[in-house]
Chain A
C-alpha cells in the first residue's frame, strides 16, 4: 500500500505538476490569510497584521520551494527543469550555441579521426606477447663493419644459437619472399615470408584457423605447407573456413594450406615482412636449406628475433651470444671475426615512427587546446550577462548550489550534444581519410575510431566547459547579488580582467594556428619542390610494365633473354612507339645491387672501395627512359661478349675528373672482379629516391655476366601520347607471348614518381588537415567572440550612432578591438615557427625552415580569415537600426 502511494505521488509530481502547484499555492496563501486573521483578532491594525503574518511565514516562494524539495522525484523533476531551462537559454543565443557546438564537433571529430587513422595505420604498437622480451639478433663482421655495421642472420648460425645460447627462450628467423601463384586465372605475384617453424610461438601468435607450423616442416622437402594472412584468405577464399586443407600452386609446386592468421597481425619489415607497399599473403616454413645457404659466414638474409628467458638481461644474453659467435667464427675458419648485437624489437619497429608520433601528438594537443580556448572565451564572453541572471535567480530564492547546477547542466548539455555530433563527424572523416589515403598505406582496412582519444577529447572539453561555465556562479558567490542587480545596464560591459583573459585566449589560438599552418606549409612546399626536382629521366609519356618470370620455366638465362627479346620486338610493331627497352629495376622502384667499383691498379682495401648501383639494361633502355647520352655510345649487339659498360656522369667525375672517360677500364665487383671498358657516359638520375642526390650508376649489357639477365624486369616504353592508352596492348602482348608470366605493375612513369612520394604526401596531408581544422576553429572562436560582444554592446553602439557617430568609425572600432589579439597571436605564432621549423628540418626538402614565402603566405591567410571572422558579425550589428539597438535589452 505505501509503495503504491509513493508511486502515485511520484507520478503525480512528475506529470500533474500544474495541479499540485496550484494546490500548494492555495494552501500557503490560505495559511497566510489565517495568520493575518489571528493577528487581527489579537488587536493589530490590518496592515500591521498582514506584515507580521508575512514575517512569520518567511517568504511564500521560499516555503513553496522547500516543499518542492521534499517531494518524491524532486531530483529528477529539477534536473528536467534545468534541462528545459538550459535549452531555452541556448536557443535564446543561437550564435553562441552554434559556434560552441561547431567548435566541439569539429575539434573533437577531426582530432579523433586523424589520430585514429595514423595510430592504427602507422603507429600501432606490437600486438605480440610480452614484446619487451623480444630482441632482434644481428650479426657483426668487424671486417665489413664500414659498409655494413650490422648484418642479418643466416640459417646455420640460427641453428647454432637455438642449441647453444641458453639465455634465449627461443629464437626464430624470417625473410621476405615472393612466389608466383598459378592455376587461378591470371598468374599473380604474392608477397610472403619464409620463416622458421617456431616464428609464431616466439612472437606469441596463435592462428585464427588451423594450426601453426610443425618443427619437422623446417626440414628439406617437408615444408610444402602455407599459413595465410587474414587479408589474403578473405580476398581469395572469401573467408571460407574450408580453405584449410586446400592446395595452392606457388612457383609451380603444390602447397597445402594449414592455417590462417588472426586479423590485424602486424609483421613489420624489420622482422622480414614485406615493405609497407605490398601486402603479405602467406607464410611458409624454411623447408631445408638451399645449397648457397649452407655457409656459416655469408648469406645474411634473415631477420632473427629472440625471446629472452624471463629474468635474463640484455647484457647477459649478449655476452653469451658473443661467446657462441666466437666459436662459430673459429669453426668457419674464414679469416673473419664474428660478433652479435641485440636490439629491442619495440624500439626498432616504433623508433623510426617516433618523431612522427610526437609531431602528431603535439598537433592533437594543439587542436584540443584551441577547442578549449574557444569554449573558454565563448563562455567568458557570456559572464556579464549571466552574472546578472544569476543574481536575479539568487534573489528569488535559488540556493548557490542550485545556480551552479543550472549552469553546469547547460554546459553538459552543450558538451554532450557537441560530443554526439563529433562522433558522427569523426566516423565520416575516418572513412574519407581511408578513401583519400594512397593504396600503399598498410592496414588501412582495419582503421577504426580510437575510443581513447574520443573519450579524452570529450573529457577535456567537458572539464573546460564546466570550469568556465560556472565562472559566473563563482563570481556571484564572492559578491552581493545586490551589486550585480544594481549595476543594471552597465553589467552588459564586461570587466577588464575577463576581457584581457578572453583576448589572450584568442591570441593564443591564432598563434597555435599560425604555427601549425607554417609547419604544414613547409611540408607542402617540400613536396612541391620534390615534384619539380630534376630527375634526369623522362617522367611524361613513359609506360613501365614489370614482369616476374616463373622460375620453373625460366631457369635458363637464355630463355629469359628470349622472352624479353620477343616482348621488345612485339612492342616495336605497335604504332607510334618511339623506343622500348628493359631494365632490371626502373628508377624509384628499389635499390637493386649496390656493390664496389674501382679502377685498375688502384691500391685500395676492399672495405674502402666506393660503391655503385649496377643495373643490367637492354641497349634501347636509355632512349626509352629519356636518359641522355653525354659521351661515347651505348653498347649494341655488335659488342656481344665484350666486357663493356655504360656509366653515369658521377662515375666519370669520380674516377677520371677532367678526362675523357671513354675507353677507360674500371673494375666491377658485381660478382667476381671484372675489368670492363667504359664505352659511354650517360646523365645522372635520381635512382632510389627523389630526395636523395644521384648515386653512381653502372649499366651493363645482358651478356656481361651469368646474372645479367634478371628473373624480373621492367619493360620501359616511350609512347607518343598518353601512356595509359598503351597499357591494354602491352598486357595483351605479354599474355600472347607467355600467359603464365604475371605483370606485377603496369603504370606510367609519372605515377611511379608520384607514388614514390606517398610516404611524404600522406603525413603532409594530415598535417594540413590539422592546420586547417585549427584555422577553422580559431576563426569560429573570433567570429563567436566578436559577434557576442557586438550583441552585448548593441545599446552602447546604438547610443553612439544616435549621437552622430559615423558608421565607418564604429565599424573600425569594433574591427580594431577584434583584430588586436589576432595580430599579437599572429606575430607570436610566426616567431615560434621560426624556432619550431628547425625541429622538422629533417622532413624538409628544398625549402629552409624559415622559408619567407611560406611564412608570408601563412600570415596573409591567417590575417584574411581572421579579418573576415571579425567583419561578418561586426557588419551585421552595424546595419541594424539604432532605435532597435537602443531599445534592445
Chain B
C-alpha cells in the first residue's frame, strides 16, 4: 500500500498542478494521476482538493479550460497553461527553491 498521503503545504498544490500541465493539456483525472506519477506516489490529490484548486486557478487566469474528448471517448473538461500560468510557475518554482533550501539548512544545523 502507498504511504499515508502527505498533507500538502499551502501553495504546493498550485505548483504541482502548474508543473503537471507543462507537459500539455490535461483533464482533472489526468492532472491527479500525473501528480501521483511525478511525485513517486507521495501525493495523492483527491477530487475534493483538486477541483476547488483548478477552478480558483482558472479564475486567477493561470490556466484556461475547454471541453474535449478523452482517450476513451468521454467528454471531459481539459485544462492548459496560459502565459500568466507559465509566469506563475516560474515564481512558484523560485519560491519553492528558496523554501526547501531554507528548510534543508534548518535541518542540517545541529
**In the complex, are the beta carbons of B51 and A6 less than 8 A apart?**
no
- Which of B48, B56, B59, B74 has the most A CB atoms < 10 Å from its CB? B59
- A50-69 toward B: CB 8 Å interface, digit per residue (1/0)? 00000011100011001101
Contact of B77 among A27, A38, A62, A72 (CB under 8 A): A27
Residue ranges of A at the interface with B (Cβ–Cβ < 8 Å): 1-2, 5-6, 9, 23-24, 26-28, 30-31, 33-35, 37-38, 56-58, 62-63, 66-67, 69-72
Further contacts, 7 of them, CB under 8 A, given A31-B47, A63-B51: A28-B51, A30-B70, A30-B76, A34-B74, A35-B29, A56-B46, A66-B52
CB distance from A42 to the nearest CB of B (A): 13
Given the known interface contacts A1-B84, A63-B47, A71-B59, the answer about A34 and B52 at a Cβ–Cβ threshold of 8 Å is no
Contact across chains for B76 and A70 when beta carbons are under 8 A apart:
no
Mask for B42-72, Cβ within 8 A of A = 1, else 0? 0000111001110110111100000000101
| A2: B residues at CB distance < 8 A | 60-61, 84
A96 CB, nearest partner CB in chain B, Å: 38
Cβ–Cβ contact A31 & B59, under 8 A: no
- Cβ–Cβ < 8 Å partners of B72 in chain A: 34, 37
What residues of B have a CB within 8 angstroms of the CB of A38 in the complex? 29
The answer on a CB contact under 8 Å between B56 and A70 is: yes
Please name the residue on chain B nearest to A69 by beta carbon. B52
Q: How far is the CB of B101 from chain A (nearest CB, A)?
A: 29
Is the pair A70, B52 in contact by a Cβ cutoff of 8 Å? yes
The verdict on B95 contacting chain A, using a C-beta distance below 8 Å, is no
Question: Interface majority SS on A: helix, strand, loop or mixed?
Answer: helix
Cα A69 to Cα B48 in complex, Å, equals: 12
Alpha-carbon separation in the docked complex, A66 to B28 (Å): 15
Query: A35 vs B28: C-alpha distance in the bound complex, in angstroms?
Result: 11
Chain A CB within 8 A of B27 CB: yes
| Residues in chain B near residue A67, CB distance under 8 A | 51-52, 55
Once A30-B77, A37-B72 are accepted as A-B contacts, the answer to whether A56 and B60 lie under 8 Å apart by CB is no
Q: Which residue of B lies closest to A10 (CB)?
A: B59
Q: Which residues of B contact A (CB under 8 A)?
A: 27-29, 46-48, 51-53, 55-56, 58-61, 70, 72, 74-77, 84
Q: A62: nearest residue on chain B (CB-CB)?
A: B48
**How far is A524 from B25 in the complex, measured between Cα atoms in Å?**
87
Contact B74 A33 (CB under 8 A): yes
| Beta-carbon nearest neighbor of A64 in chain B | B51
Closest 9 CB pairs of A and B: A70-B52, A5-B61, A9-B59, A27-B77, A2-B61, A70-B56, A34-B29, A66-B52, A67-B51
Q: Is the CB of A6 within 8 A of B59?
A: yes
Docked-complex contact A72 and B59, CB < 8 angstroms: yes
Point out which of B27, B48, B84 has the most chain A C-beta atoms below 10 A from its C-beta.
B48
CA of A72 to CA of B58, assembled, Å: 11
Once the chains are docked, how many angstroms separate the CA of A127 from the CA of B27? 74
Residue of B nearest to A70 (CB): B52
Contact between chains at A66 and B74 (CB < 8 Å): no
Q: When the two chains form their complex, are residues B75 and A26 in contact, meaning their CB atoms are under 8 A apart?
A: yes
Interface centre among A31, A38, A69, A72 (most CB of B within 10 A): A31
Contacts of A6 in B (CB 8 A): 59-61
User: Which residues does chain A contribute within 8 Å of B61, judged by CB atoms?
Assistant: 1-2, 5-6
- Cα-based distance from A234 to B72 in the complex (angstroms): 90
Residue contacts A-B, CB under 8 angstroms, 5 given: A27-B77, A28-B51, A31-B51, A34-B70, A71-B55
Contacts of B70 in A (CB 8 A): 30, 34
List the A side residues contacting B74 at CB < 8 Å. 30, 33-34, 37
List of A residues within 8 angstroms of B77 by Cβ: 23, 26-27, 30
Distance A37 CA – B61 CA, assembled complex (angstroms): 31
